[in-house]
Amino acid sequence: MPTQNKPASLPCPNSSPSFWHSEPNTFLLNHRTTPDLPSTADIVIVGSGITGASIARYLASDARAKNLSILMLEAREVCWGATGRNGGHCQPLLFDRVPEVAAFEVGNVDAVRGYIEEYGVDCEWRSVTGCRSFWDESVFAAAKRDIEALRGVNPELAKKVRLIEGGDVKALREHRVAAGASGVTLTEGAGQLWPYKYVCAIVERLVREGRVNVQTNTAVSKIEAVDGEGAGGYKQVVRTGRGDVQARHVILATNGYTSHLLRGFTDLIVPVRCEMSSLHPPAGSERLPNSYGMVGFEGCNSEHDDYLIQRPFYDSPNGDGSRRGGHLMFGGGRSSATYNCVAESEDDIVDPGEAEYLRGALLRSMELGGETEGLKELKASHQWTGIKGYSRDNMPWVGKVPSQSGKGEFENGLWLCGGYTGHGMPNATLCGKAVVEMVLDEEKEKLGYEAICEKLVKQKELPQIYLITPPRLKAAHQLPSVAEQDVGGITKGGNEQPYKCAVM
């Protein structure tokens, strides 16, 4: 029976320890740029993951925002939510997205890589090929049909995708995929990274430059519209346990936790608890060449695919010739879950069923190399959970928040950017840029919301299907629930697909 949706909770205080937090940014831990919480701000960003950091980044670089005060509120530590708990992938989906969205995701990867290169961010970035293995003939056949369709509508994008049939054992072995897969797709233009270090580099730089006031351990309990428009143009009141903040604009970068503040999104952005692990590689093994996804392995629900990257090896500092690092960062296993996952927003538990699966599955799905004889499972340094925000129509929600009071179609000065369905790393950067354009176009250019949306779509700065509009809201409410789709399939960017790639 599908799970009944319920509003998300606030992020729980004692989250399961993520490997990515094992080297914390000491400048940002318990950081409060000012000892007291400001009582006013021009723009308040709620959330400090990749979305919140990207919003702050683009605000700080836009001349129109030069004299605007920017306040970032975080319930826990900077980047302690999904971005600090994900799989380290930055991988565009090409053949299972409409071309408009696929091209947007490629642009997001370029934007992430460009920032890392410009500022020399030490976050283990590596450009890789995305290798997705399919373990069900019908699902692989559907993927092949989608690739063929992409060739017809966008040949340039299609050139980035190659196929390996399951019978080509030599080619499978070259990519370290175990024999028995129905087939493999190879997608150019992917990347992998230490996501927490990337986000913290952005936030720390902005704080040191005096562009953003960051207040950690400051949970937002409620957001209320100012009756009319208050003095100073303040439109929203942000309520926290440390006091209230009046803001001209509030941008929610809360993803899976969105419905805690927006009850109207309870069935539109649903929190889903997912699991990750960092596994010690077999002795004597070499680093895998790609990033990986596994669809339908060992009969798992093809909605619950697994995902894998491998960290670099480092020479041990003790000079004995041994190596450190090389962790296999492996996530998924939801078909083996002991507990319910959908409509769950607490990341303080580790599911024993998923944890056991993650420790063992790579020895069966991959050619890891090294000393694996007799091994039943790999040793984990960390196993943890994180909360994804699953969108009911599988597309992010970017734009003005629908009216919560019934006065007009949209809230005045309240914006949302989230709902990535486990695919935020190749979406959130430019979604954040787009919502910044929206806010500044309204604040400085005095454009109406409809004109703002038309401008963004015309300039190809945001896919039209990402926009928050009344027709989209109405259509989304008519779709099967997220829980139902989690079992039976989801709409993929305008195309019905029998599987869903949900890489953390």
Give the number of other Cβ atoms within 10 Å of residue 142's Cβ. Answer: 18
SS3 of 404-426: CCCCCCEEEEEEEEECCCCCCCC
**247 pairs with which residues across the strands?**
41, 236
Give the span between the Cα atoms of 499 and 143, in whole angstroms: 9
- Report pLDDT for 3: 61
- Report pLDDT for 392: 97
Q: Which secondary-structure segment (H or E) carries 206? A: helix 195-208
- Report pLDDT for 497: 37
Pairing between β-strand 380-391 and β-strand 269-279 as defined by DSSP bridges: antiparallel
- Report pLDDT for 502: 40
Which domains are delineated in the chain? 24-84+196-269+392-497 (3.50.50.60), 129-184+271-389 (3.30.9.10)
What b/e sequence results for 393-430 when a residue is b if at least 16 CB atoms lie within 10 Å of its CB, and e otherwise?
bbbbbbbbbbebeeeeebbbbbbbbbbbbbbbbbbbbb
431, exposed or middle or buried, with CB in 10 Å at 0-12, 13-18, 19+? Answer: buried
Q: What are the pLDDT digits (tens) for 261-270?
A: 999 999 999 9
pTM: 0.95
Residues (pLDDT < 70) of the chain are 1-4, 228-230, 319-321, 406-407, 489-504
Give the span between the Cα atoms of 294 and 134, in whole angstroms: 6
What is the DSSP code string of 8-22? --PPPSSPPPPGGGG
Tell me if residue 393 falls in helix, strand or coil: coil
- Report pLDDT for 135: 96
189: left (phi over 0), alpha (psi -120 to 50) or beta: left
- Report pLDDT for 227: 80
Question: Tokens 């929600």 — which residue?
Answer: 397
Give the phi and the psi of residue 292 in degrees, each rounded to 5.
Answer: -135, 150
E strands present in 327-430:
328-331, 380-391, 397-402, 410-418
- Report pLDDT for 2: 57
SS3 of 25-38: CCCCCCCECCCCCC
Give the span between the Cα atoms of 215 and 212, in whole angstroms: 10
Question: Tokens 């939510």 — which residue?
Answer: 81
Q: What are the pLDDT digits (tens) for 311-321?
A: 999 987 776 66
The dihedral built from the CA positions of residue 253, 258, 262 and 265, taken in this order, carries a sign that is: positive
Structure tokens of 325? 């690092």
- Report pLDDT for 4: 66
Query: Are residues 104 and 110 in contact, defined by beta-carbon separation less than 8 angstroms?
Result: no
